[in-house]
Every structure is written in C-alpha cells, then in structure tokens.
Homo-oligomer: A and B are copies of this chain.
C-alpha cells in the first residue's frame, strides 16, 4: 500500500482512505490543540470547524487550496471553484457564509487578463450568496517552480449555535436527499483533459449551495449534511454513515445522473459516484419533513433535479438496490479517480 512508502504520492491527496490515514498519522498525530472553546475542531474532519463565541453565536470556518487542472473548464474556472468550494463547506454546516479570505500563488508569466477573469468569476460567485472578500494575499513564484496558479480560500460563516449541522448526525429512519445530478464536475474535468472538451454538453456543476441549505432549513429538519467533492458521493455517504454508526439503503433508480456523464463514465471506466461534485449536497432529513424539504430544494436555482435517494438504516454499509433488481455495496474509494479535480 502506498502509505508504507516514505514519499508522498498523488493518492495521498485524492480524498480517499490513504489520504485519511496520512492525515491521522502525520497531521492529527502531531497537533496538540485542535479546537477552540469546545467547538467542532480538526479531528472531527467535518466540512468546517466551529468556534463558539458566546452562549448564542458561533463562527464557522474552513480552508481549501484549489489546484484544478485545467484552470478554465466547461462550466467554470478556478475562480468559481475557489469561491464556491469554500462557501459550500461553510454552507453545509447550516450557517450562512459571510466572507472569504483569498490567497493566490501565481506563476511568473501568468497572463494578467486571465487573473482578471478569475477574480471576476470569484466575485460573481460570492455575489450569489452575498459574501464579501475581506482579505487577500498574492505571491508570485518562478515559472519553473509552479505551473499556473493555486488559489486558497478560507471562509467564515456566522450564525447561531442551534443552526449548526454536522456530517455525523444521521439517525435510522432519516431520508437521504441529493440535491442534483451526480458526477458532473469530475467528469467534465476528465473529459476536457481527455480532449472530448466542449464537444459534449458535459459541464461542471460548480455553484454555491447556500440557497438550497437556506430553503431546506425553513421547512424541515436536517440531521446531517456534506458536500460530496473529492471521492464523490461514494465517499461522502460512507463517511456520514460511518460517523453516525448507521447504514444506508439507496435506490439506484432515484440517483440523478446526466446521460452525458454516464457516457463519459462508461468510456473512461470511471464510476460517477466516486468523482467530485462542486454544487451538490447530500443530506439526511427527518422522514416526516423529507417531502417538504425536497420540494423547497427543487424550487431553488441549483436544486431542480433533487431527489430522495434512500434512507438511513441499522447496520454499517451503504447498500444500493440496482436498477436491474440486485444489490451492490457502495464503498468509499481508495482515492478519487480524477486527480487535481478541485
């Protein structure tokens, strides 16, 4: 197994089990203080951390480096993904994101006009949720040391403690909702790289999810949420089930997948459940509010294709009833099959 090697390889960064091992051993094992004021900290490995401020308020915060390749892709660019990715990690904690910090490391020779496009895209994405960009840092590196650009964004949300939703709160009987079609981002990146490019209709789903969270909260009870980025829904669903010591039963027929995603998926032999989404949420919802939540989400800009895809069960496996009437185990991937996806 790659982990026994003494050098870091691509699998260590691919959002799967090997990466979890490295994070536990080298990172968590060497950090002495991982939370503030009893909030959700690093070892929770949730989408964001929380810092309780007083009896009522909480700050939600997260960070993500974005190294997506290519930086301009069908449906988005590194600016949009840098904003949406981080705003989404805050959003799926149930709290409204208010701001981004934006740190860019740019290769010498990078086109100023491309940088401007990226900033505009980032800004447009922030405007959708009303978030501000409040701090920044810019570094330039020799072009033989860095290819292109890396954008790291940290996000902050501010809300009430009782709004916070973790990724570990699933309970038996909850319905599982996915807010739209699966695998769009990973497959769009892969297909662009493979040169299918703009010939297909395949586009990344990269988008801010806050409007869907807001709509869902108003009408229902969300027990757990996660945005299924690296490692796809296979990773997210297993992580949620595992953290809550429950299982899931999914109905394959209900899981929305675009025909063009299926096509590329078959051509490349890549499971669309294992690749990143950048504008979706997987959520557990109390069964009696699930229909209301579904309808509320479907009325939002990015939630038209939302579906109830299954429910939470006893046990510890994520099991899918297949279209042809069988059953298959949905397992967490060792790694996202598409590198540099976000």
Contact = CB atoms under 8 A, between A and B. Distances in A.
A145 B148 contact: yes
Interface in A244-301: none
Contact of A33 (B130, B135, B147): B130
A36 interface: yes
Interface string A89-100: 000000000110
Interface stretch (A151-159, A193-201, A213-221, A306-314): A151-159
B111 A51 contact: no
A interface majority secondary structure: mixed
B103 A65 contact: yes
Contacts of A108: 7-10
A223 interface: no
A34 B150 contact: no
Q: How large is the interface on A (under 10, 10 to 19, 20 to 34, 35 or more residues)?
A: 35 or more
A204 interface: no
B135 A42 contact: yes
Interface of A: 5-14, 19, 22-23, 26-27, 30-37, 39, 41-42, 48-49, 51, 53-54, 57, 59, 61-65, 67, 69, 98-99, 101-113, 115-116, 119-120, 122-123, 126-127, 130-142, 144-148, 150, 152-154, 156, 158, 339-340
Given A6-B111, A7-B109, A62-B101, 14 more contacts: A6-B113, A8-B115, A13-B138, A13-B141, A22-B138, A26-B115, A26-B119, A31-B122, A31-B123, A32-B127, A42-B136, A61-B154, A146-B147, A146-B150
